[in-house]
Structure 1
């Protein structure tokens, strides 16, 4: 019996030592000095180490609707060193935790992009803080030693094994070194019939305005709750005056936008109005791509009702730069500039942005 117990304890100790030395998430202060590319499929575990790496002064936060914004392109448009820290199905609270870590860690943030979607406008954002995906709060605090209590588990062993396979040349990283990944299929696999079934969950249809439209009074609008916007405002307030905060509503397909004239549309407009007011008060750029337009109505721009193609991501990147350069809405109505810092102010001064004509 003692021999069996000793064997089990020895095996557990060996596995724990293996995890601590390999340290797949970059959490352990005394781990081996090896390259640690991102091998997990849950960005919630990967991105704290990326933030603490010291390689980035700019970042994108958001859900999967922001994941195709490419850091290399943003570096060229805005300057700085970008990481894409958008997470699949991330709640506003999860995004806030990661952004909070970024602001505590990066001494001089340069450009911060918040890719906004419906999670920031939900009335219960302060209650529904997590998804079914595990979220490790111990990775987001400032004590590296308390992480040791959570690292001995099957998932961490699996990711440590993947990292060893990477160093043996038998596995590729899950994400790029800047957090970027083209997670949608290659364009060669785009098929209209399949895509339309995903977009419409049935036959193709148009979105007709509700008639008569719902009218929401001022008192009712003022009573609407958007608790996540308080978190967003607090994050923007912590940015230095020399930084460039961009709050951008992402362009989901029009079928996933509220029906014009509906209660949902009125609520979303109230949320956008509050974000715009936040931008004007705190000196942030607010750009709205989440509007019915030639981009969001065109099925050929999407893989499903939420996720656009890579070429649209490239267009979003350039359009954000154009918004900062021209301080105006898109001439074709594909996006609106809802707020901008005062011209001549540190955040409103175009010299902070490296834009090529």
Structure 2
């Protein structure tokens, strides 16, 4: 006879683990999400490469030369690789008024203007290297080293954002640069632009006359504006001014040493309104002179170079009507700078036929 204690009670059902079925579903969702994101990114990059939004010449589907009207920061990628040009002007707004068309008319050399406002030596030497990659044997390069070349940071950092990725020689940097919202918007814009047969194109030679922009800001002969641009700078150099070593000059030396010996290399120290120049005998004036000397020494490694120095006390620089501000001169000064560039190119012309 079985007792109550010997009766085996039925086994209680095991509790179902909460969320046991949710884990596989969550994993599937994560895999689908990651896979979808990767596929979407790969599809976008394929489209961006096919469209080539800034006309870098990389593999593309839309065979439309040039770019729509836009700023020189991005348009320079298209202009800098254009085989129609065999010489370049590189700098910022302090060399922007030099006209490629006039230089070509007087020298026969097809110039492109690659000046980008508010850039310094890092951006400008990057542009020069990009031009050289696409034109291994250029006829001439005109650089405009100004006060921005006299900093003490060896990294030569830009003062404003600059698309280094667009000029990169390697694919990883270029692909990373494509993954930006503004670039994606430009992909769409370029598709629309390319499909319009009469769409306006940015000027191929890159010339941009800034005079109308300055005139819209007010009358340059206004007494208050004249007084403002004639204000003397302090006696001491700005913080970050280099010396005795100048990193930009060292980078220039390496670049100049790598140029073909047949290439004419011209450096223009840009015009500065005379009353706004450093007072002679001050530390600021000494530092500026040391910077220019370092640049001259760097250029000397190249056998065909010239320096055009407009930083001194030429009588034209004392004319207040010739400037918009201490460092932005007007067309009459620009024509005189052009004339000196033409003369320097004539003096550097090789004796024999060019290969």
Same fold (TM over 0.5): yes
Larger Rg over CA atoms: 2
The residue number in structure 2 matching 1:218 is none
Matched residues in 2 for 1:162 and 1:198: separation? 40
Gaps of 5+ in 1: 215-221, 328-346
* Residue among 213, 231, 252 paired with 2:272: 252
The residue number in structure 2 matching 1:130 is 158
| Offset, 1:350 | 7.5
1:117-156 equivalent positions in 2, closer than 5 A: 117-124=146-153, 126-136=154-164, 138-144=165-171, 147-156=174-183
| Offset, 1:140 | 2.7
CA contact (8 A) 1:113 1:245 kept: yes
* Residue among 270, 291, 300 paired with 2:312: 291
Matched residues in 2 for 1:26 and 1:112: separation? 22
Deviations 1:248-292 (A, max 9, x none): 101132344322221110111122223333444533101101123
Gaps of 5+ in 2: 1-28, 237-241
| Offset, 1:141 | 3.0
TM-score normalised per structure 1: 0.74
The residue number in structure 2 matching 1:46 is 75
Matched residues in 1 for 2:73 and 2:233: separation? 38
- SS of corresponding position for 1:181: coil
Matched residues in 2 for 1:69 and 1:237: separation? 25
The aligned length equals 314
- SS of corresponding position for 1:44: helix
Closer/same/farther in 2, CA of residues 142 and 274 from structure 1, 3 Å limit: closer
Please state if 1:158 is matched with 2:180.
Answer: no
TM-score normalised per structure 2: 0.74
- SS of corresponding position for 1:48: helix
Please state if 1:31 is matched with 2:83.
Answer: no
Matched residues in 2 for 1:182 and 1:321: separation? 20
1:1-357 equivalent positions in 2, closer than 5 A: 19-27=48-56, 28-41=58-71, 43-124=72-153, 126-136=154-164, 138-144=165-171, 147-164=174-191, 166-167=193-194, 168=196, 172-173=200-201, 175-185=202-212, 191-194=219-222, 197-198=224-225, 200-201=227-228, 205=230, 207=232, 224-283=244-303, 284-323=305-344, 347=348
Question: RMSD value over aligned CA atoms?
Answer: 3.7
| Offset, 1:182 | 1.5
Closer/same/farther in 2, CA of residues 275 and 352 from structure 1, 3 Å limit: farther
| Offset, 1:71 | 1.0
The residue number in structure 2 matching 1:340 is none
CA contact (8 A) 1:59 1:83 kept: yes
